[in-house]
Chains A and B, each alone.
Chain A
Amino acid sequence: MWIYEKKLQYPVRVSKCCPRTAKYLVEQYGGADGELSAALRYLNQRYTIPDKVVGLLTDIGTEEFAHLEMIATMIYKLTKDATPQQLQEAGLGEHYANHDSALYYNNAAGVPWTAAYIASKGDPLADLYEDIAAEEKARATYQWIIDMTDDVDLQDSLKFLREREIVHAMRFKEAVEIIKADRDTKKIY
Protein backbone atom coordinates (compact mmCIF):
# COMPACT_ATOMS: atom_id res chain seq x y z
CA MET A 1 0.00 0.00 0.00
CA TRP A 2 0.99 3.65 -0.08
CA ILE A 3 1.09 6.21 2.71
CA TYR A 4 0.78 9.89 1.87
CA GLU A 5 3.25 12.29 3.43
CA LYS A 6 2.06 15.86 3.95
CA LYS A 7 5.09 17.62 2.53
CA LEU A 8 6.76 18.19 -0.83
CA GLN A 9 9.92 16.29 -1.70
CA TYR A 10 11.66 19.57 -2.51
CA PRO A 11 10.48 23.19 -2.01
CA VAL A 12 8.52 24.75 -4.85
CA ARG A 13 8.58 28.53 -5.09
CA VAL A 14 7.53 30.75 -7.96
CA SER A 15 8.39 34.43 -8.11
CA LYS A 16 5.46 35.53 -10.28
CA CYS A 17 2.11 34.54 -11.72
CA CYS A 18 2.85 33.08 -15.17
CA PRO A 19 0.11 31.00 -16.84
CA ARG A 20 2.21 30.58 -19.98
CA THR A 21 4.90 28.65 -18.12
CA ALA A 22 2.13 26.62 -16.46
CA LYS A 23 0.83 25.72 -19.90
CA TYR A 24 4.23 24.28 -20.85
CA LEU A 25 4.70 22.55 -17.50
CA VAL A 26 1.52 20.54 -18.01
CA GLU A 27 3.63 18.49 -20.41
CA GLN A 28 5.32 16.98 -17.35
CA TYR A 29 1.97 16.48 -15.61
CA GLY A 30 -0.10 14.62 -18.19
CA GLY A 31 2.26 14.29 -21.15
CA ALA A 32 3.87 11.17 -22.64
CA ASP A 33 7.15 11.57 -20.74
CA GLY A 34 5.60 13.26 -17.72
CA GLU A 35 5.58 12.22 -14.08
CA LEU A 36 2.18 10.48 -14.18
CA SER A 37 3.34 8.31 -17.08
CA ALA A 38 6.60 7.57 -15.27
CA ALA A 39 4.96 6.53 -11.99
CA LEU A 40 2.38 4.32 -13.66
CA ARG A 41 4.91 2.80 -16.07
CA TYR A 42 7.34 1.66 -13.38
CA LEU A 43 4.81 0.50 -10.83
CA ASN A 44 3.00 -1.52 -13.49
CA GLN A 45 6.18 -3.25 -14.64
CA ARG A 46 6.97 -4.53 -11.14
CA TYR A 47 4.72 -7.57 -11.29
CA THR A 48 6.57 -9.38 -14.05
CA ILE A 49 10.14 -8.08 -13.73
CA PRO A 50 12.78 -10.31 -12.05
CA ASP A 51 12.78 -10.00 -8.24
CA LYS A 52 16.19 -8.35 -8.16
CA VAL A 53 14.89 -5.05 -9.58
CA VAL A 54 11.38 -4.91 -8.09
CA GLY A 55 12.63 -2.75 -5.21
CA LEU A 56 14.12 -0.21 -7.60
CA LEU A 57 10.95 0.04 -9.71
CA THR A 58 8.84 0.42 -6.56
CA ASP A 59 11.00 3.20 -5.17
CA ILE A 60 11.46 5.17 -8.38
CA GLY A 61 7.76 4.76 -9.19
CA THR A 62 6.90 6.12 -5.76
CA GLU A 63 9.31 9.03 -6.11
CA GLU A 64 7.65 9.94 -9.41
CA PHE A 65 4.39 10.57 -7.54
CA ALA A 66 6.28 13.05 -5.35
CA HIS A 67 7.46 14.75 -8.56
CA LEU A 68 3.90 14.78 -9.89
CA GLU A 69 2.86 16.66 -6.76
CA MET A 70 5.71 19.16 -7.27
CA ILE A 71 4.57 19.81 -10.86
CA ALA A 72 0.97 20.23 -9.69
CA THR A 73 2.19 22.71 -7.07
CA MET A 74 4.08 24.70 -9.71
CA ILE A 75 1.05 24.83 -12.01
CA TYR A 76 -1.23 25.77 -9.12
CA LYS A 77 1.07 28.56 -7.95
CA LEU A 78 1.70 29.91 -11.45
CA THR A 79 -2.02 30.18 -12.25
CA LYS A 80 -3.87 30.79 -8.97
CA ASP A 81 -3.85 34.59 -9.28
CA ALA A 82 -4.40 34.73 -13.03
CA THR A 83 -7.54 36.35 -14.42
CA PRO A 84 -9.51 34.60 -17.22
CA GLN A 85 -8.09 37.29 -19.50
CA GLN A 86 -4.50 36.39 -18.56
CA LEU A 87 -5.21 32.67 -18.98
CA GLN A 88 -6.60 33.39 -22.43
CA GLU A 89 -3.56 35.44 -23.41
CA ALA A 90 -1.33 32.58 -22.27
CA GLY A 91 -3.13 30.16 -24.56
CA LEU A 92 -5.15 28.58 -21.76
CA GLY A 93 -8.54 29.90 -22.95
CA GLU A 94 -9.65 26.45 -24.13
CA HIS A 95 -8.50 24.93 -20.88
CA TYR A 96 -10.36 27.55 -18.85
CA ALA A 97 -13.57 27.03 -20.82
CA ASN A 98 -13.53 23.35 -19.88
CA HIS A 99 -11.79 23.21 -16.49
CA ASP A 100 -11.70 26.72 -15.00
CA SER A 101 -8.32 26.76 -13.18
CA ALA A 102 -8.50 23.07 -12.25
CA LEU A 103 -5.62 20.82 -13.18
CA TYR A 104 -6.15 18.12 -15.75
CA TYR A 105 -4.04 15.25 -17.02
CA ASN A 106 -3.27 16.47 -20.51
CA ASN A 107 -0.11 17.52 -22.31
CA ALA A 108 0.95 21.06 -23.20
CA ALA A 109 -1.12 20.87 -26.39
CA GLY A 110 -4.23 19.84 -24.44
CA VAL A 111 -4.26 16.17 -25.49
CA PRO A 112 -5.61 14.03 -22.62
CA TRP A 113 -3.28 11.51 -20.98
CA THR A 114 -3.52 8.02 -22.43
CA ALA A 115 -2.25 4.58 -21.39
CA ALA A 116 -0.72 4.39 -24.86
CA TYR A 117 2.17 6.44 -23.40
CA ILE A 118 3.20 3.44 -21.33
CA ALA A 119 4.94 0.37 -22.68
CA SER A 120 4.74 -2.95 -20.93
CA LYS A 121 6.57 -5.63 -22.84
CA GLY A 122 7.08 -8.30 -20.21
CA ASP A 123 10.69 -8.61 -21.34
CA PRO A 124 12.84 -7.14 -18.55
CA LEU A 125 15.49 -5.65 -20.81
CA ALA A 126 12.92 -4.15 -23.20
CA ASP A 127 11.06 -2.64 -20.24
CA LEU A 128 14.20 -1.23 -18.60
CA TYR A 129 15.48 0.29 -21.85
CA GLU A 130 12.07 1.90 -22.22
CA ASP A 131 12.46 3.32 -18.71
CA ILE A 132 15.93 4.70 -19.45
CA ALA A 133 14.62 6.38 -22.61
CA ALA A 134 11.66 7.82 -20.67
CA GLU A 135 14.01 9.34 -18.09
CA GLU A 136 16.22 10.88 -20.78
CA LYS A 137 13.17 12.34 -22.52
CA ALA A 138 11.84 13.79 -19.26
CA ARG A 139 15.27 15.30 -18.56
CA ALA A 140 15.24 16.95 -21.99
CA THR A 141 11.74 18.36 -21.47
CA TYR A 142 12.79 19.86 -18.13
CA GLN A 143 15.73 21.51 -19.87
CA TRP A 144 13.49 23.07 -22.55
CA ILE A 145 11.15 24.44 -19.88
CA ILE A 146 14.06 25.79 -17.79
CA ASP A 147 15.30 27.55 -20.94
CA MET A 148 11.89 29.14 -21.53
CA THR A 149 11.43 30.77 -18.10
CA ASP A 150 13.32 33.57 -16.36
CA ASP A 151 11.80 32.75 -12.95
CA VAL A 152 14.86 31.73 -10.92
CA ASP A 153 12.80 30.24 -8.07
CA LEU A 154 10.95 28.01 -10.50
CA GLN A 155 14.18 27.14 -12.29
CA ASP A 156 15.60 25.91 -8.99
CA SER A 157 12.79 23.37 -8.50
CA LEU A 158 12.91 22.36 -12.16
CA LYS A 159 16.66 21.77 -11.96
CA PHE A 160 16.08 19.46 -9.00
CA LEU A 161 13.62 17.43 -11.10
CA ARG A 162 16.00 17.41 -14.06
CA GLU A 163 18.77 16.00 -11.86
CA ARG A 164 16.45 13.30 -10.52
CA GLU A 165 15.85 12.07 -14.08
CA ILE A 166 19.60 11.71 -14.51
CA VAL A 167 19.88 9.64 -11.32
CA HIS A 168 16.90 7.48 -12.27
CA ALA A 169 18.36 6.78 -15.70
CA MET A 170 21.66 5.81 -14.07
CA ARG A 171 19.94 3.40 -11.65
CA PHE A 172 17.93 1.82 -14.48
CA LYS A 173 21.17 1.29 -16.43
CA GLU A 174 22.58 -0.52 -13.39
CA ALA A 175 19.41 -2.61 -13.25
CA VAL A 176 20.04 -3.66 -16.87
CA GLU A 177 23.49 -4.91 -15.86
CA ILE A 178 22.03 -6.79 -12.89
CA ILE A 179 19.54 -8.56 -15.16
CA LYS A 180 22.25 -9.41 -17.71
CA ALA A 181 24.60 -10.77 -15.04
CA ASP A 182 21.76 -12.86 -13.64
CA ARG A 183 21.03 -14.31 -17.07
CA ASP A 184 24.68 -15.19 -17.61
CA THR A 185 24.86 -17.05 -14.29
CA LYS A 186 21.77 -19.04 -15.20
CA LYS A 187 23.30 -20.00 -18.56
CA ILE A 188 26.41 -21.40 -16.87
CA TYR A 189 24.62 -23.73 -14.47
Chain B
Amino acid sequence: MNKKLDANYYSKLLELQQLDFALVELTLYLDTHPNDLQAIQQFNQLAQQRQQCAHQFEMQYGPLLQFGHSYSKYPWQWIETPWPWQV
Protein backbone atom coordinates (compact mmCIF):
# COMPACT_ATOMS: atom_id res chain seq x y z
CA MET B 1 0.00 0.00 0.00
CA ASN B 2 2.17 2.84 1.25
CA LYS B 3 5.87 2.50 1.91
CA LYS B 4 5.77 5.02 4.76
CA LEU B 5 3.78 2.68 7.00
CA ASP B 6 6.54 1.51 9.31
CA ALA B 7 6.29 0.62 12.99
CA ASN B 8 6.93 4.26 13.84
CA TYR B 9 3.79 5.29 11.92
CA TYR B 10 1.62 3.04 14.06
CA SER B 11 3.20 4.09 17.35
CA LYS B 12 2.94 7.82 16.49
CA LEU B 13 -0.66 7.37 15.41
CA LEU B 14 -1.46 5.50 18.60
CA GLU B 15 0.13 8.23 20.68
CA LEU B 16 -2.09 10.81 18.99
CA GLN B 17 -5.17 8.60 19.39
CA GLN B 18 -4.42 8.23 23.10
CA LEU B 19 -4.09 11.98 23.62
CA ASP B 20 -7.25 12.60 21.61
CA PHE B 21 -9.13 9.99 23.60
CA ALA B 22 -8.32 11.80 26.83
CA LEU B 23 -9.41 15.06 25.21
CA VAL B 24 -12.72 13.63 23.99
CA GLU B 25 -13.40 12.27 27.47
CA LEU B 26 -12.55 15.58 29.11
CA THR B 27 -14.66 17.47 26.57
CA LEU B 28 -17.81 15.45 27.24
CA TYR B 29 -17.16 15.58 30.99
CA LEU B 30 -16.72 19.35 30.92
CA ASP B 31 -19.90 19.74 28.86
CA THR B 32 -21.81 18.64 31.96
CA HIS B 33 -19.29 19.82 34.63
CA PRO B 34 -18.30 23.29 33.35
CA ASN B 35 -17.04 24.47 36.75
CA ASP B 36 -14.36 21.82 37.29
CA LEU B 37 -11.22 23.96 37.22
CA GLN B 38 -8.83 21.04 37.52
CA ALA B 39 -10.41 19.30 34.54
CA ILE B 40 -10.13 22.49 32.49
CA GLN B 41 -6.44 22.81 33.39
CA GLN B 42 -5.88 19.20 32.39
CA PHE B 43 -7.80 19.81 29.17
CA ASN B 44 -5.70 22.83 28.23
CA GLN B 45 -2.47 21.05 29.04
CA LEU B 46 -3.41 18.01 26.96
CA ALA B 47 -4.61 20.23 24.11
CA GLN B 48 -1.12 21.74 23.97
CA GLN B 49 0.52 18.30 24.02
CA ARG B 50 -1.87 17.16 21.34
CA GLN B 51 -0.94 20.07 19.11
CA GLN B 52 2.75 19.18 19.30
CA CYS B 53 2.11 15.49 18.73
CA ALA B 54 -0.13 16.18 15.71
CA HIS B 55 2.41 18.59 14.28
CA GLN B 56 5.18 15.97 14.47
CA PHE B 57 2.92 13.36 12.92
CA GLU B 58 1.98 15.66 10.06
CA MET B 59 5.61 16.54 9.31
CA GLN B 60 6.36 12.84 8.83
CA TYR B 61 3.15 11.43 7.42
CA GLY B 62 1.22 14.30 5.88
CA PRO B 63 -1.80 16.41 6.77
CA LEU B 64 -4.47 15.23 9.20
CA LEU B 65 -6.92 18.06 8.57
CA GLN B 66 -8.23 19.94 5.60
CA PHE B 67 -9.60 23.36 4.63
CA GLY B 68 -6.47 25.10 5.79
CA HIS B 69 -6.09 23.50 9.21
CA SER B 70 -2.98 21.60 8.01
CA TYR B 71 -0.18 22.57 5.64
CA SER B 72 0.84 20.73 2.46
CA LYS B 73 4.14 20.00 0.76
CA TYR B 74 4.36 19.68 -3.03
CA PRO B 75 2.59 17.89 -4.64
CA TRP B 76 -0.75 18.25 -2.81
CA GLN B 77 -0.50 15.75 0.03
CA TRP B 78 -4.10 15.46 1.12
CA ILE B 79 -5.00 12.97 -1.62
CA GLU B 80 -2.17 10.61 -0.72
CA THR B 81 -2.95 7.22 0.79
CA PRO B 82 -3.39 5.75 3.29
CA TRP B 83 -6.93 6.68 4.28
CA PRO B 84 -7.86 5.67 7.82
CA TRP B 85 -9.58 2.42 6.87
CA GLN B 86 -6.55 1.29 4.87
CA VAL B 87 -4.14 1.05 7.79
Contact = CB atoms under 8 A, between A and B. Distances in A.
A5 B64 contact: yes
Contacts of B78: 6
A7 B69 CA distance: 15
B6 interface: no
Nearest to A58: B31
Given A3-B66, A3-B69, A6-B64, A60 B85 contact: no
Interface in A167-186: 167-168, 171, 174-175, 178
Contact of A59 (B13, B14, B27): B27
A56 B84 contact: no
B17 A56 contact: no
A73 B85 contact: yes
Interface stretch (A8-16, A18-26, A94-102, A119-127): A8-16
A43 interface: no
A5 B58 CA distance: 12
Given A3-B65, A3-B69, A69-B84, 16 more contacts: A5-B64, A6-B63, A7-B16, A9-B21, A10-B21, A11-B14, A11-B17, A56-B28, A56-B31, A59-B31, A73-B85, A168-B28, A171-B32, A174-B33, A175-B32, A178-B32
A118 to B, nearest CB: 21
Interface-centre pick from B20, B28, B64, B67 (highest chain A CB count, 10 A): B28
